[in-house]
Amino acid sequence: MAADPKPDWLSCLPSSWSYGVTRDGRIFFINEEAKSTTWLHPVTGEAVITGHRKTPDLPTGWEEGYTFEGARCFIK
């Protein structure tokens, strides 16, 4: 399965906003007009879940993760 090149949270980001990724993989949002940052998505008001996580629907030994660009990937 290929990684989604533009996840939903990125495609609905307002034009005056961008995002960054911390060293530990957390995504934060940057309001370019107000020169401010937040952990919460400006449209949904929710934090973007990042990093590796085990999910019950993946085969044994596999984890879901995200690249620094925010693309979803799978790690064994």
The pTM of the full predicted model, rounded to 2 decimals, is: 0.59
Residue 52 to residues 1, 25, 32, 34, Cα–Cα distance (Å): 17, 9, 29, 31
Question: Which two three-digit tokens encode residue 20?
Answer: 């960054």
Q: How does strand 63-66 pair with strand 72-75? A: antiparallel
pLDDT along the chain (76 residues), means of 10: 65 91 80 93 84 64 74 78
Q: Hey, how many other C-beta atoms are within 10 angstroms of the C-beta on 63? A: 14
* Domains of the chain from N-terminus onward: 5-73 (2.20.70.10)
Q: Hey, how many other C-beta atoms are within 10 angstroms of the C-beta on 21? A: 16
pLDDT of residue 75: 78
pLDDT of residue 2: 52
pLDDT of residue 18: 94
